[in-house]
Structures are given as C-alpha cells and as structure tokens.
A and B are shown apart, each in its own frame.
Chain A
C-alpha cells in the first residue's frame, strides 16, 4: 500500500501524480454519475439476455424476448396485405382490358405496379421505364408485341425468347451475314434508312428495295411496318431499339438480334403481374 497523500490547501486526497510540482487531486466522481454508470452496466447485462446480442459461430444469441427485425417486417407486410385484401381480390379477378375504366382499382394497380416495376423491371428498362439500347422504352407508343393491356400482361407473364416458359413469345431474325454479301447488306441498310429519313442515296436504296422484298418483307412487311405476331419491329418509324444509324443497322442485318426477357409468372404473384401490366400500360403508350 502506498501512503495516501493529502493536498495541503484543499485537504483532498491526491493521486500521487505530479507534473512540475503540480499535484493532481483525486476528486471522486459525483455519486449520481457513478450510480448512472452502474445502472447502465446492469441494464446492458439485462439487455443482452433479453435481446439478440452476442455473436456465436453461426448466428447470434436470439435473446429471451424472441425479438427479430425480420419477423417484425414480415408481420408488418402481412398486416399491410391484410388491409389491402379486398383490393387485391378484385384486382386478381378483374378483366384486364377494362381495368382503366375502374378508376379506384386502376389507381391502386398503378401504384402497386410502380413498386413492382422498380424492384423487378428497372434493372433493364430503367427506373423511369425509358429503356436502353436493346431494352425497349416503355413510355413511347411503339410496341414490338402489342401494347394493349392483354398483350402487356402476356409479355410480363411469359417473357420473350426464353427457355424457361414454353409459352414465351418467340421469333428469331436470321443472321443475314451468311445469306447476303456486303454490297447487298449495304443496299438494304440504305433502303431501311430511306423508310424513315430524307437523307439517303436513292440509287443504292432502289437496289436495297429488291433485297428487302426478297428477304425482309416476309416479317417486317412490304412497307416496313413490322408484325406484332412475330415481334418484328416497325422499321419505318422514328424509334430504334438498337439504333437507326447505318453502322448499327449493318450489324443488326449481318448478325441479327436476340433480345430476351424472363417470364415473371413463376416469380411474381398474380396481383403483382396484373399491377405491373397496368403500370406499364399507364406510362403513356398504352393502347
């Protein structure tokens, strides 16, 4: 035991530490402070017993209260679904073509569909549904496979050109690089450009028109208006999925394109599929 020193002036015990002759007083902590500290320790022990706390090898201690954020959120979602049960039931049984006429249900479907879209569709189609190269813009009035409620619903449910759903919409453009030679492809590209633009070489386009009639018109139509049965795009309008410049069109003709969309039937609930269809239909191009 060291000898306890007392400060001469104040009479308070010192810690024995001294710097340049200045001694440090051993002023005790205020009692309320100390008791608060002890109380927090007791509280912490109780807390770690009651709630999940200590990390173990796999997972953590669960705590006596059985409290879990995951379970809480699941319960919240369930309660929310319960509150919307009526709306969900009428959405599931609604006729999709006449859904927009039912203003209240349509508003619910669009709001719900917006959430579904942002969680599942925005990765390819963009959060604003404006699409990207190879991924269709859903805001415009141009549709590959049809833009009415039933067509959109079918596309969402079964997807496009996938191996997962036998009912998926399917078509494939041949890679004309194996069929046509370079001048022929150049000519048909010039012809396709002429369908939607004023700036083209009329001579080359005329040659291209023959190539087009022999090879392309079966699917894309004589006037290039496309065929929704086959998902053949309208190539006479201002909207291009992969790009409308000559170089991109050349690549498209030479190598063809093969856009794939997964079927959402197995992954989304019936209500979600109908909701997201209503949402896409509402974006500005719905027919």
Chain B
C-alpha cells in the first residue's frame, strides 16, 4: 500500500462577494433592517413616567435593584416566571415560524443576518459592487486598497461601537450613562461590556459572517426537525430550469437531453439520471422514467449565476436544499429580475413547498398556500403558544401589588415567657410593589386564641417604603395553659392589608406549642 496522509478536516473559507440586488424581498429586508435596528438602538431612550421614586426609562433591566421595567409592567425577581414564559413563547414561536415558513428567522430577523447585511451595505458603498470587490481582493496592497480597507473598517467599527454601546443603555438610565460614558465616569463594567460587544459585532459582521451560521450556530442543525415537505421554503424549480445553459450550450444541452432521455428509456427500469442509492436488493430511487421536459428542449435557467452571485452564504440554490441556506430570498429577486429580462414568467427560484414538486412536474397546479400552512403541526404550535401567552396575561392581571412571605424562626421553635406564655417568632417580608410608601397593617387569623405583636413597633401598622421589601420580625403569643401553648402545632394565617387601598394578602404558617 502507499503512504497516505489522512484527509484534512479543515476547509479554508472561500471569500464571498454578494452582488447588489433589487426586488420585492430586498426591499422587504431593508424595511425589516430599519425596524429591527431602530428598535434596538432607540428603545432605551424612550421615557415612561412612573412617579418620583422609580426610574423613568420605558425598558430597563435594573440589575442593581433587581427590577425589570417594561412600559407599565414592573417585574420583581420572584416573578421571573414571566421571563421564563416569554422565553418559552419565543422558542415555540420559532418552531411555529420554522415549520410554516422555513428559516424566516435566519433570513430576515436574526441579528447576525441583519448586521451582516448592514456591513455588506457599507462594504458596497465604500469598495463598490461585487466585481470591484473581487478585483480589490485579488489586487496587491496599493495605497488605494489600504485607503478603502481602512475606511471600511472604520465605518464598521463605528457601527460596532454603537451596537455595543446601545446594549448597556438597557441596564441603567440611558441619558445618565451616556454622559458618564463620555466623561469617563461610567462603571468599568459598562466599558468592558461595550468593548466585548464591539469586538463581537466587528468580527462577526465583518469577517466571520456566514461562518457563524454554518459552524457556530446550533439552530441550522435543529431546523430539520421543525421542517417537513409542506414547509414553505426557498427552492429552485429544477423541472422548469433544467437543462440549463445559454445559446449554443442550450442547443447542445437540448440534443444531449433528448439522447439521454432516449437512452434512459431504452435502458428500462433500473437506469437513472442520477447515480442510484446503493442499497442491495432495493430498487433505484429514480427509475427509468424520462424527466419531464428533458426531451422538450432547454429549460428556463440560462445559467447566468445571478442567484449564486447575490447569495450571502456563497451557495448555489440550484443544488437543492442546503444547510447553509438561510432563506434570505435574495436569489429569488435576482432570478426574477433575469426572468423578466428574458421574457419568462417569474418564480424559477421561489418560495414553495417541496410537497408540490410532483404536481408541478406533472404540470398540475400547486396546493394553495393556506393548505400548506394550516396543518396539525402549526395549529398545535399556535395553540400551545397562545395558551402560554394567555396564561401570562392572566398572571399579569391577577398579580397583587401587596405581598408577603413568612419564614418561621425555628431556632428555637418556641420561647417560654416568664408568665408561662409561649411565643413563636416569624420573619415576615412585606412587599410594596407600588411607587409610593404605604401603611400596612399586620394581623392574624386562627382557630386558636393567639396574639400578634410587631418587634420594635408600638402598633400593628408600619410604613413600607415605595417599591421595596421590608423585613419585620413578628411575635405570635399563646396565653399560658391554652391548647395552642401546650399543644403541638396550630395552624394560623398571617395577613397584611393596605386599609386605604383595601387590598390584602396572606400566608399560612404554623404555631409550635410546648408539645406537652
């Protein structure tokens, strides 16, 4: 045997120079970019008046005081289930959209796609369209090339800084932080966060681009489980386009196609245009059927490579469904443009369901769109998604602005007082979820005769500051000789009430007697 070195597992990146394209989907994507980037950059600057003691930022993740503000909603840490619910909804929403419309998330709204799109736009403005960029890439490092590259990187860097900078505004008051950032007075965490996000934006959007999707992102791997033959996705109508070619190539292809079809027919079952699946004792996947249109001459595809040249992922959609394809639909625009020029109907490359292939090959009309989208799977996803959404909205409306938690002190379980009375101690945390200080009254209810006393307070009322939790030690006492004092455990319920607003909350707990 010969001396063989093992095959290399490394593939160098092929540089991609997406060409400018215009059309419906490109315009749609520009709008999505404006809206998504607008939301991202501007949201922290929206003000929302919550009164004097609360921040006036509409969307604020206040990690220091452990509050999340979203418009009129304020989430406390113990209400994290709202965030968990939203994340589950986001996950299910992704399932729903992927099973119905394929990788629309990847193609239109994924931050990697949006920022890469923006970076490519900048690249085109500065270095020119595809051909100019290819020339520049292959050319030597002249002063001209250095100047263009430096300009491009500088603009990328500005976008990256704006991106990293916008992120930190979500976590503290934006105008104050902006001032502190400029004067150098902001917390180092802000600068470090901006530096990291600037670096990732610059590198991911400028250099890694499609490699993030192909090698780093887990989502393309999960897609397959979400998609099926009814999913609407970007595909090439191979039966309409093939055999491809232009001019003399097309005429030669036509002859070849006819010969091939005749050969195929002569060869009978077992022959195929494509190499068969080599399973023993199994008929070949493609039988001796003549592909529709093979003998009808050349297809609509003139092999102009427009679809390949505009692809930001650097693939050829005509090779069929590929993991790399993010369904950005730019190839559809590119092909439609060409079809219009050569006087053919649009849609050689188009959104379609793969299950329509057979019907379309036979020349029958495809199933209507709604039949593809409305199927048990998408209905189920929508149902679960709506159920969780309804649950969250319900939870949002029934939640109280007054709450308490009770932790009984169990070291010791009870204290005997000098007159023989038995006392239990409870640490009660009172939450005032409104933006103003309120007076709360504490009381208890129980079948047994028990007394309540607040440690260090004369009365049974106390003032809880705005938007705060207050820890109050509470003594519950059973008079000497009563069943609660001498018995084992007695159930009781501690109540907190805002008499002015007439709202109250309660927690059940137990009273430990001497157990005699």
Q: A128: which of B411, B456, B475 is its contact (CB, 8 Å)? A: B411
Whether A82 sits at the interface, judged by CB under 8 Å, is no
Taking a contact as CB atoms under 8 Å apart, the answer to whether A9 and B1 are in contact is yes
Chain B residues within an 8 Å CB radius of A73: none
Whether A251 sits at the interface, judged by CB under 8 Å, is no
Chain A residues within an 8 Å CB radius of B1: 8-11
Taking a contact as CB atoms under 8 Å apart, the answer to whether A11 and B4 are in contact is yes
Query: A108-133: which have CB < 8 Å to B?
Result: 126-128, 130
Taking a contact as CB atoms under 8 Å apart, the answer to whether B456 and A100 are in contact is yes
Taking a contact as CB atoms under 8 Å apart, the answer to whether A238 and B412 are in contact is no
Q: B418: which of A10, A127, A128, A142 is its contact (CB, 8 Å)? A: A142
Chain A residues within an 8 Å CB radius of B3: 10-11
Q: A238: which of B4, B419, B425, B475 is its contact (CB, 8 Å)? A: B419
* Complex Cα–Cα for A107 and B428 (A): 16
Q: Which residue of A lies closest to B410 (CB)?
A: A128
Taking a contact as CB atoms under 8 Å apart, the answer to whether A282 and B455 are in contact is yes
Chain A residues within an 8 Å CB radius of B420: 196, 237-238
Chain A residues within an 8 Å CB radius of B416: 137, 140, 238-239
Count of chain B residues near A, Cβ 8 A: 19
Per-residue CB contact flags for chain B residues 396-417 toward chain A (1 = under 8 Å, else 0) read: 0000000000000101100111
* Complex Cα–Cα for A284 and B474 (A): 10
Q: Which residue of B lies closest to A7 (CB)?
A: B1
Whether B8 sits at the interface, judged by CB under 8 Å, is no
Q: Which residue of A lies closest to B415 (CB)?
A: A139
| Contact of A284 with B418 at beta-carbon distance under 8 Å, contacts A9-B1, A238-B480 already known | no
Taking a contact as CB atoms under 8 Å apart, the answer to whether B456 and A141 are in contact is no
Q: How far is the CB of A74 from chain B (nearest CB, A)?
A: 24
Whether B277 sits at the interface, judged by CB under 8 Å, is no
Chain B residues within an 8 Å CB radius of A234: 418
Given A8-B1, A140-B416, 19 more pairs with CB closer than 8 A: A9-B1, A10-B1, A11-B1, A11-B4, A128-B411, A137-B416, A139-B412, A139-B423, A140-B417, A140-B423, A141-B417, A142-B418, A196-B420, A237-B419, A237-B420, A239-B416, A239-B418, A282-B455, A284-B423
Q: How far is the CB of B264 from chain A (nearest CB, A)?
A: 41
Q: How far is the CB of A226 from chain B (nearest CB, A)?
A: 10
Q: Which residue of B lies closest to A131 (CB)?
A: B412
Per-residue CB contact flags for chain A residues 224-243 toward chain B (1 = under 8 Å, else 0) read: 00000000001001110000
Whether B183 sits at the interface, judged by CB under 8 Å, is no
Q: Which residue of B lies closest to A8 (CB)?
A: B1
Chain A residues within an 8 Å CB radius of B419: 237-238
Q: How far is the CB of A225 from chain B (nearest CB, A)?
A: 10
Chain B residues within an 8 Å CB radius of A142: 417-418
Q: How far is the CB of B4 from chain A (nearest CB, A)?
A: 7
Chain B residues within an 8 Å CB radius of A141: 417-418
Interface of A is mostly: loop
Chain B residues within an 8 Å CB radius of A238: 416-420, 480
Query: A191-227: which have CB < 8 Å to B?
Result: 196
Taking a contact as CB atoms under 8 Å apart, the answer to whether A140 and B456 are in contact is no
Whether B2 sits at the interface, judged by CB under 8 Å, is yes
- Ordered by A's residue number, 29 sampled pairs between the chains whose C-beta atoms are within 8 Å are A8-B1, A9-B1, A10-B1, A10-B3, A10-B4, A11-B2, A100-B456, A128-B409, A128-B411, A128-B412, A130-B411, A137-B412, A137-B415, A137-B416, A139-B415, A139-B423, A140-B417, A140-B423, A141-B418, A142-B418, A237-B418, A237-B419, A237-B420, A238-B417, A238-B480, A239-B418, A284-B415, A284-B425, A284-B475
A binding-site residues for B, Cβ under 8 Å: 8-11, 100, 126-128, 130, 137, 139-142, 196, 234, 237-239, 282, 284
Chain B residues within an 8 Å CB radius of A128: 409, 411-412
* Complex Cα–Cα for A9 and B2 (A): 7
Taking a contact as CB atoms under 8 Å apart, the answer to whether A140 and B418 are in contact is yes
Taking a contact as CB atoms under 8 Å apart, the answer to whether B412 and A282 are in contact is no
Chain A residues within an 8 Å CB radius of B423: 139-140, 284
Per-residue CB contact flags for chain B residues 16-57 toward chain A (1 = under 8 Å, else 0) read: 000000000000000000000000000000000000000000
Chain A residues within an 8 Å CB radius of B456: 100, 282
Per-residue CB contact flags for chain B residues 457-484 toward chain A (1 = under 8 Å, else 0) read: 0000000000000000001000010000
Q: Which residue of B lies closest to A240 (CB)?
A: B416
Taking a contact as CB atoms under 8 Å apart, the answer to whether A284 and B412 are in contact is no
Taking a contact as CB atoms under 8 Å apart, the answer to whether B411 and A127 are in contact is yes
* Complex Cα–Cα for A238 and B416 (A): 7
* Complex Cα–Cα for A11 and B6 (A): 11
Q: Which residue of A lies closest to B420 (CB)?
A: A238
Chain A residues within an 8 Å CB radius of B415: 130, 137, 139-140, 284
Q: Which residue of B lies closest to A137 (CB)?
A: B415
Per-residue CB contact flags for chain B residues 423-463 toward chain A (1 = under 8 Å, else 0) read: 10100000000000000000000000000000110000000
Chain B residues within an 8 Å CB radius of A137: 412, 415-416
Q: How far is the CB of A128 from chain B (nearest CB, A)?
A: 3
Q: How far is the CB of A231 from chain B (nearest CB, A)?
A: 16
Q: How far is the CB of A25 from chain B (nearest CB, A)?
A: 12
Chain A residues within an 8 Å CB radius of B417: 140-142, 238-239
Chain A residues within an 8 Å CB radius of B425: 139, 284
* Complex Cα–Cα for A141 and B420 (A): 11
Q: How far is the CB of A7 from chain B (nearest CB, A)?
A: 9
Q: How far is the CB of B472 from chain A (nearest CB, A)?
A: 12
Q: How far is the CB of A285 from chain B (nearest CB, A)?
A: 8
* Complex Cα–Cα for A126 and B412 (A): 9
* Complex Cα–Cα for A144 and B158 (A): 74
* Complex Cα–Cα for A100 and B455 (A): 11
Q: How far is the CB of B468 from chain A (nearest CB, A)?
A: 14
Q: How far is the CB of B436 from chain A (nearest CB, A)?
A: 20
Chain B residues within an 8 Å CB radius of A237: 418-420
Chain B residues within an 8 Å CB radius of A126: 411-412
Q: Which residue of B lies closest to A110 (CB)?
A: B456
The 4 closest A-B pairs by CB, nearest first: A128-B411, A11-B3, A238-B420, A130-B412
Q: How far is the CB of B477 from chain A (nearest CB, A)?
A: 10
Chain A residues within an 8 Å CB radius of B480: 238
* Complex Cα–Cα for A237 and B421 (A): 11
Which of A9, A126, A140, A284 has the largest number of chain B CB atoms within 10 A? A284
Chain B residues within an 8 Å CB radius of A11: 1-4
Q: How far is the CB of A114 from chain B (nearest CB, A)?
A: 12
Chain A residues within an 8 Å CB radius of B455: 282, 284
* Complex Cα–Cα for A100 and B457 (A): 10
* Complex Cα–Cα for A173 and B366 (A): 106
Chain B residues within an 8 Å CB radius of A239: 416-418
Q: How far is the CB of A6 from chain B (nearest CB, A)?
A: 9
Chain B residues within an 8 Å CB radius of A8: 1
* Complex Cα–Cα for A126 and B480 (A): 25
Q: How far is the CB of A214 from chain B (nearest CB, A)?
A: 26
Q: Which residue of B lies closest to A100 (CB)?
A: B456
* Complex Cα–Cα for A239 and B475 (A): 18
Chain B residues within an 8 Å CB radius of A139: 412, 415, 423, 425
Q: How far is the CB of A186 from chain B (nearest CB, A)?
A: 25
* Complex Cα–Cα for A238 and B419 (A): 6
* Complex Cα–Cα for A10 and B1 (A): 8
* Complex Cα–Cα for A142 and B455 (A): 17
